[in-house]
Amino acid sequence: MQINETARRTYETAMADLRNFMANPWQTEMAPYQVIPHVYYVGNKYVGSYLLDTSEGLVLIDAALQETVYLLFESIRKVGFDPKDIKKVLISHGHVDHTGGLRIVQEYSGCEIWFPKGDAFFLTERRDLILEEEHAPEFEVTGYYNYDDMMDFGNIQIQPVHTPGHTPGCTSFFITVHNNRTTLLGMHGGLGLNGLSKAELLQNGLPASLQEDYLNSLKKLVNVPVDIVIPSHLSHFPGDYLGMIANNTDGSGDALRVPDAWKLLIEDRIAQAEALFKQDELIDEN
Ligand SMILES: [Zn+2]
C-alpha cells in the first residue's frame, strides 16, 4: 500500500507542477541557446521545444504550454527568427505540456502540425487526459507520422520512431544535421514515469501493457549512435545538462558531445522503470 501511494504522489506532484507553471509561466523563463548550427533550444525550464532552421523553412518540435507561448515566441526571436515563419510543428506526444501552445502557434503562423497517430485519442474521446479546453484549445492536425519514412528537410533529416510507453503514441526523433560535419541528435519523446504505475494506468483507463511497451521501446534504442542528446525535459538528463549548456558558449555543440550520454540516459530510465514496475509486482503478490 505504501508503495502504491508513493507512485500516486509522483503523478500528483507532476500535475501540481503543471498547474503551478500554468498559473506562473514566468517562473519557467530560460534563455534560448544554439545547440549546434541550425538547431536551437527555444523551450523553457520545465519542458523542451527545439527550433530547426531547415532548407524547407522553420520546423518546431513541441510547443509547450499555452501559457508559455509568449516565452516560446520571445526565445525564437532572440535566436534570430520570426515565429510567423514556422512551417511545421512535430509533436512528441499528446500531453498538454507539449501540445497546449499549438492552437496559438498554428493561428499565428499557419503551420502544419504533425502528430502521433497513437495519441490522437487524446484530442477526441479522451480529452479528459489532457486538461480543460481553456488550457488546451483545439488545433488542426495536418497528418500523422509514417514511421517507415525519414522526413527530409534538405540540410536536416528527421526519423520519427514510435516509442510507446509514456503514452501509446509517444514518438522519438533522431535528427541528422548536415553542417561542416554530420551530427545525429536524439530526442526521446517521453521518458516520464509519472502515471505508469499499474494503479495510475488503471485509474486513467489506459492499458497496463504500456509498462512493457515502455521498457521494450527503450531497449530498442539503447545503441543508437547519438552524438548529442536533446532532452524533451532538460531535467530528465542524468547529469549536469545546464552546466553543459553553459559551456556550449560557441554554439558548436562540442560541450554537449558526451560519449555514451544517450546510452546513459536510456539505461538510467530502464533502471528506474524496472524498479517502479517491480513494486507493482510486489503489490500484485500481496
Ligand atoms: Zn508527457
Q: From residue 64, how far is each of 3, 141, 205, 214 by CA, in Å?
A: 31, 16, 25, 22
Using CA atoms, how far apart are residues 80 and 214, in angstroms rounded to an integer?
37
Q: Is the pLDDT of residue 217 over 80?
A: yes
Q: Residue 233 C-alpha to ligand 1 middle, in angstroms?
A: 9
Q: Residue 161 C-alpha to ligand 1 middle, in angstroms?
A: 16
Q: What percent of the chain has pLDDT over 70?
A: 95
Q: What pLDDT shows up at residue 12? A: 76
CA–chain centroid gap for 238, Å, is: 16
Q: What does the buried/exposed string (b/e) look like for 252-275 if buried means 16 or more CB atoms within 10 Å of the residue's CB?
A: bbebbbbeebbbebbebbbeebee
Q: What pLDDT shows up at residue 1? A: 29
At 286, the pLDDT band (50, 70, 90 cuts) reads: low
Asked if 261 contacts 188 with a C-beta cutoff of 8 angstroms, the reply is no
- State which H helix or E strand residue 145 sits in: none
Q: Residue 77 C-alpha to ligand 1 middle, in angstroms?
A: 26
Using CA atoms, how far apart are residues 189 and 91, in angstroms rounded to an integer?
8
Which amino acid, 43?
G
Q: What pLDDT shows up at residue 223? A: 96
Report the DSSP pairing between strands 156-162 and 86-90.
unpaired
Q: What pLDDT shows up at residue 284? A: 61
Using CA atoms, how far apart are residues 5 and 139, in angstroms rounded to an integer?
36
Asked if 187 contacts 159 with a C-beta cutoff of 8 angstroms, the reply is no
Which amino acid, 108?
Y
Q: What pLDDT shows up at residue 15? A: 82
pLDDT tens digit string along 4-28?
Answer: 344 445 777 888 888 999 999 999 9
Q: What pLDDT shows up at residue 283? A: 67
Asked if 19 contacts 134 with a C-beta cutoff of 8 angstroms, the reply is no
Q: Which three cell numbers stand for residue 226?
A: 547519438
Using CA atoms, how far apart are residues 106 and 53, in angstroms rounded to an integer?
18
Asked if 89 contacts 61 with a C-beta cutoff of 8 angstroms, the reply is yes
Q: Residue 98 C-alpha to ligand 1 middle, in angstroms?
A: 7
Q: What pLDDT shows up at residue 195? A: 87
State mean pLDDT over 153-175: 97
Q: Residue 21 C-alpha to ligand 1 middle, in angstroms?
A: 15
Q: Residue 286 C-alpha to ligand 1 middle, in angstroms?
A: 30
Q: Residue 192 C-alpha to ligand 1 middle, in angstroms?
A: 6
Q: Residue 163 C-alpha to ligand 1 middle, in angstroms?
A: 12
Q: Residue 248 C-alpha to ligand 1 middle, in angstroms?
A: 27
Asked if 107 contacts 113 with a C-beta cutoff of 8 angstroms, the reply is no
Q: Is 99 exposed, middle or buried (0-12, 13-18, 19+ CB in 10 A)?
A: buried
Q: Residue 18 C-alpha to ligand 1 middle, in angstroms?
A: 11
Cβ atoms within 10 Å of 4's Cβ, excluding its own? 16
Region of poorest pLDDT, from 126-140, 169-183, 187-201, 229-243: 126-140
pLDDT tens digit string along 179-191?
Answer: 999 999 999 999 9
Q: Is the pLDDT of residue 126 over 70?
A: yes
Q: Which three cell numbers stand for residue 251?
A: 554554439
Q: Residue 179 C-alpha to ligand 1 middle, in angstroms?
A: 31
Q: What pLDDT shows up at residue 232? A: 95
Q: Residue 170 C-alpha to ligand 1 middle, in angstroms?
A: 8
pTM of the model: 0.93
Residue 49, helix vs strand vs coil: coil
Q: Residue 166 C-alpha to ligand 1 middle, in angstroms?
A: 6
Q: What pLDDT shows up at residue 13? A: 81
Q: Residue 50 C-alpha to ligand 1 middle, in angstroms?
A: 16
Question: Near ion ligand 1, which residues have CB within 5 Å?
Answer: 95, 190
Q: What pLDDT shows up at residue 201? A: 92
At 285, the pLDDT band (50, 70, 90 cuts) reads: low
Region of poorest pLDDT, from 50-54, 127-131, 208-212: 127-131
pLDDT tens digit string along 222-260?
Answer: 999 999 999 999 988 888 899 999 999 999 999 999 999
Helices within the chain (DSSP H only) = 2-23, 69-78, 96-99, 102-109, 198-203, 210-221, 241-247, 261-285
Q: Is the pLDDT of residue 282 over 80?
A: no
Q: Residue 36 C-alpha to ligand 1 middle, in angstroms?
A: 26
Q: Residue 97 C-alpha to ligand 1 middle, in angstroms?
A: 7
Q: Residue 175 C-alpha to ligand 1 middle, in angstroms?
A: 20
Q: Return the CATH number of the domain spanning residue range 2-285.
A: 3.60.15.10
Q: Residue 250 C-alpha to ligand 1 middle, in angstroms?
A: 31
Mean pLDDT of the chain: 92
Q: Is the pLDDT of residue 196 over 50?
A: yes
Q: What pLDDT shows up at residue 132? A: 76
Q: Residue 92 C-alpha to ligand 1 middle, in angstroms?
A: 9
State mean pLDDT over 106-134: 91
